[in-house]
């Protein structure tokens, strides 16, 4: 049967809706906070990638969350924009206000339905939860025809009770019913059974879209997602690079490429332009400072690398021997360019394209090119990893409140370590001299003097971007403030500058995080 959806109209039975929650479920996981500009950049990239729905945030969570959802609703055209709300009135009103300007809007409301969550988290009786389902969906419908209802911890919910909740949500006017595997506990057979049961037993089930939302605690999020689709789900909730609570959500790139590559096993269509996958993944990594692991499917740097002689030989004779999809189909490009100090802007732009950054604006290109020339003066060969580190530093973090300007350090076996640091904070330049037990300590003391804070340094790491003594250093800093953890990364040929950049990156993330107090489990 063809479903008539308020925002999508008649949806063909073989079309799956791609619902991206990178900016909500993904962003709320440790270390992944983004500021308003970063969220807007990501939302633009997601729209360009062709996602159908962007879950832009959790508007009641903080003023910052509200504003990001609102700004995305105002400025992003194409996808449906949604905001998350618990079942209480205040949440739903806040979400409604935030998504109001969107061309196409949705309110996504949820409540826990499993015995464990109802008893210990909500402290509510099942009948009260059931009543809240109908009430919350009906309230959300006053603001939009497109309402999604989710049964939190749905996969661990008693089947009869789940059917009653879903029926209540449909009767109250929900057009999408999402059954999350909130704790990543289910295996594919469980997920298939749940969707088949709901479609068979719940009155009105044939008039709504069923949605699947899987966490990756057992590494099964993608497998569970595909099982759900084969059992009748027609909306997939996923995130770029699989980021999300704990072990993350189903990775958009993996689900989409599995559907595309194994059409025989998962015969469905979606609107994703797969050649834009890599650049979206890279943008997220650059914004958050978290690279995907090298062996990450689709977007990891080894995903299409063939090391063994036998494999290389096979691929040269016929790529299909060891490649089930082409690297180009997800945005990798072939390049033979090695950059050095004589390389020009055109070669540099070409390299950025090949690395998956797509078309880069002139200002961003100029800034990055200036820093590349500087790097090439200090380093004989500039590798892809150097360009990635440099581009992420210069361009992607350009909107941060605290910016690194310069650093001079004096240290040695006899000298008292001393740092003179220049930062820009909210557009104002500050210079500070500080001493410490070593050059890094002196530098961090200077940062603390310019931007005082209570956060404790929990971890400091130093590594190299590439090999050789002229390699760029990549430093990591973890800060903790009132139980909130943030991680920052920084790269530079000077290790102390890389450390300063990493600390500043973490501090910028902390500022975003401070503005947010995670809402507790609200009773309806």
Contact positions vs Zn ion (CB under 5 A): 25
The distance of closest approach from Cβ of residue 213 to ligand KIV in the complex, given in angstroms and rounded to an integer, is 5
Encode 187-212: b = buried (16+ Cβ within 10 Å), e = exposed: ebeebbebbebbbeebeebeebbbbb
The distance of closest approach from Cβ of residue 371 to ligand KIV in the complex, given in angstroms and rounded to an integer, is 39
Does 25 participate in binding ligand KIV (rule CB under 6 A)?
yes
Q: Which one, 213 or 296, has the nearer CB to ligand KIV?
A: 213
For residue 421, what are the CA distances in angstroms to 162, 404, 409, 495?
Answer: 59, 8, 8, 15
Does 55 participate in binding ligand KIV (rule CB under 6 A)?
no
Q: Which one, 25 or 254, has the nearer CB to Zn ion?
A: 25
Window 211-250: contact mask with ligand KIV (x via CB under 6 A): --x-x-----------------------------------
Does 180 participate in binding ligand KIV (rule CB under 6 A)?
yes
Contact (Cβ atoms closer than 8 angstroms) between residue 101 and residue 70: yes
Q: Which one, 216 or 288, has the nearer CB to Zn ion?
A: 216
Does 152 participate in binding ligand KIV (rule CB under 6 A)?
yes
Cβ neighbours of residue 331 under 8 Å, at least 6 residues apart? Answer: 274, 275, 276, 277, 278, 279, 356
Alpha helices in 380-456 (DSSP H): 384-394, 439-450
Does 110 participate in binding ligand KIV (rule CB under 6 A)?
yes
CB atoms within 10 A of CB 505: 26
Q: Which one, 25 or 65, has the nearer CB to Zn ion?
A: 25
Calculate the dihedral angle through the C-alpha atoms of 185, 190, 196, 197, rounding to the nearest 10 degrees.
Answer: -90
Q: Which one, 46 or 504, has the nearer CB to ligand KIV?
A: 46
Q: Which one, 49 or 186, has the nearer CB to ligand KIV?
A: 186
CA 95 from chain centre, in angstroms, equals 20
Please tell me what DSSP assigns to residue 336.
Answer: -
Q: Which helix (H) or strand (E) holds 14?
A: none
CA distance 205 to 434: 66
The distance of closest approach from Cβ of residue 56 to ligand KIV in the complex, given in angstroms and rounded to an integer, is 14
Does 280 participate in binding ligand KIV (rule CB under 6 A)?
no
Q: Which one, 152 or 392, has the nearer CB to ligand KIV?
A: 152
Cβ neighbours of residue 363 under 8 Å, at least 6 residues apart? Answer: none
Q: Pick the piece of the chain touching ligand KIV (CB under 6 A) from 176-184, 351-359, 401-409, 412-420.
A: 176-184
CA distance 278 to 286: 12
Q: For the sheet with 418-425, list strands across it.
A: 402-410, 418-425, 428-435
The distance of closest approach from Cβ of residue 427 to ligand KIV in the complex, given in angstroms and rounded to an integer, is 37
The backbone torsions φ and ψ at residue 25, rounded to the nearest 5 degrees and listed phi first, read -60, -40
Q: Which does 150 bind (CB under 5 to 8 A by kind): ligand KIV, Zn ion, none?
A: ligand KIV
Does 182 participate in binding ligand KIV (rule CB under 6 A)?
yes
Q: Which does 156 bind (CB under 5 to 8 A by kind): Zn ion, ligand KIV, none?
A: none
CA 250 from chain centre, in angstroms, equals 11
Does 150 participate in binding ligand KIV (rule CB under 6 A)?
yes
Q: Which does 152 bind (CB under 5 to 8 A by kind): ligand KIV, Zn ion, none?
A: ligand KIV
The distance of closest approach from Cβ of residue 55 to ligand KIV in the complex, given in angstroms and rounded to an integer, is 9
Q: Pick the piece of the chain touching ligand KIV (CB under 6 A) from 174-182, 227-235, 423-431, 441-449.
A: 174-182
CA distance 186 to 216: 10
Q: Which does 280 bind (CB under 5 to 8 A by kind): Zn ion, ligand KIV, none?
A: none
Does 117 participate in binding ligand KIV (rule CB under 6 A)?
no
CA distance 369 to 373: 6
What are the counts of helices (DSSP H) followed by strands (DSSP E) for the chain? 16, 16
Q: Pick the piece of the chain touching ligand KIV (CB under 6 A) from 67-75, 90-98, 178-186, 408-416.
A: 178-186
Q: Which one, 234 or 505, has the nearer CB to ligand KIV?
A: 234
CA distance 335 to 78: 33
Q: Which does 146 bind (CB under 5 to 8 A by kind): ligand KIV, Zn ion, none?
A: none
Return residues touching ligand KIV (CB under 6 A).
25, 110, 150, 152, 178, 180, 182, 213, 215
């Amino acid at each position: 049967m063809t479903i008539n959806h308020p925002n999508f109209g008649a949806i063909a039975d073989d079309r799956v809706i791609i619902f991206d929650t990178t900016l909500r479920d993904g962003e709320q996981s440790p270390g992944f906070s983004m500021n308003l500009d970063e969220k807007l950049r990501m939302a633009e990239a997601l729209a360009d990638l062709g996602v159908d729905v962007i879950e832009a945030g959790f508007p009641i969570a903080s003023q910052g969350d509200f504003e990001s959802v609102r700004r995305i609703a105002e400025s992003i055209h194409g996808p449906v924009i949604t905001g998350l709300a618990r079942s209480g009135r205040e949440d739903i009103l806040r979400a409604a206000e935030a998504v109001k300007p969107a061309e196409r809007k949705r309110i996504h409301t949820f409540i826990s339905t499993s015995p464990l969550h109802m008893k210990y988290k909500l402290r509510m009786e099942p009948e009260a939860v059931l009543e809240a389902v109908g009430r919350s969906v009906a309230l959300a419908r006053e603001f939009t025809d497109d309402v999604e209802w989710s049964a939190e911890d749905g996969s661990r919910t008693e089947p009869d009770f789940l059917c009653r909740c879903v029926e209540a949500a449909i009767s109250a006017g929900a057009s999408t019913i999402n059954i999350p595997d909130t704790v990543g506990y289910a295996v594919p057979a469980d997920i298939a059974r749940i969707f088949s049961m709901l479609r068979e037993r719940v009155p009105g089930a044939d008039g709504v879209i069923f949605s699947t939302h899987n966490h990756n605690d057992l590494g099964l999020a993608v497998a569970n997602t595909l099982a759900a689709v084969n059992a009748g789900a027609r909306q997939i909730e996923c995130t770029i690079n699989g980021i999300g609570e704990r072990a993350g959500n189903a990775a958009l790139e993996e689900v989409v490429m599995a559907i595309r590559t194994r059409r025989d096993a998962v015969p469905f269509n979606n609107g994703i332009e797969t050649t834009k996958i890599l650049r979206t993944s890279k943008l997220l990594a650059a914004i958050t400072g978290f690279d995907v692991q090298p062996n990450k499917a689709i977007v990891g740097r080894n995903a299409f690398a063939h090391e063994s002689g036998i494999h290389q030989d096979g691929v040269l004779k016929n790529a299909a021997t060891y490649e089930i999809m082409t690297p180009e189909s997800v945005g990798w490009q072939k390049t033979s360019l090695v950059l050095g100090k004589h390389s020009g802007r055109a070669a540099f732009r070409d390299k950025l394209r090949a690395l998956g950054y797509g078309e880069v604006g002139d200002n961003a290109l100029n800034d990055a090119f200036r820093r590349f020339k500087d790097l090439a003066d200090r380093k004989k060969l500039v590798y892809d990893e150097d360009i990635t580190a440099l581009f992420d530093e210069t361009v992607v973090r350009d909107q941060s409140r605290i910016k690194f300007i310069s650093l001079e350090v004096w240290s040695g076996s006899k000298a008292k370590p001393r740092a003179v640091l220049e930062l820009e904070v909210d557009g104002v330049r500050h210079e500070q001299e500080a001493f410490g037990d070593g050059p890094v300590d002196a530098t961090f003391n200077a940062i603390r003097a310019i931007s005082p804070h209570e956060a404790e340094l929990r971890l400091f790491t130093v590594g190299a971007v590439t090999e050789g003594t002229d390699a760029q250093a990549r430093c990591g800093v973890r800060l903790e403030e009132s139980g909130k953890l943030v991680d920052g990364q920084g790269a530079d040929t000077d290790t102390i500058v890389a450390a300063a950049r990493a600390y500043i990156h973490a501090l910028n993330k902390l500022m975003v995080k401070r503005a947010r107090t995670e809402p507790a489990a609200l009773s309806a």
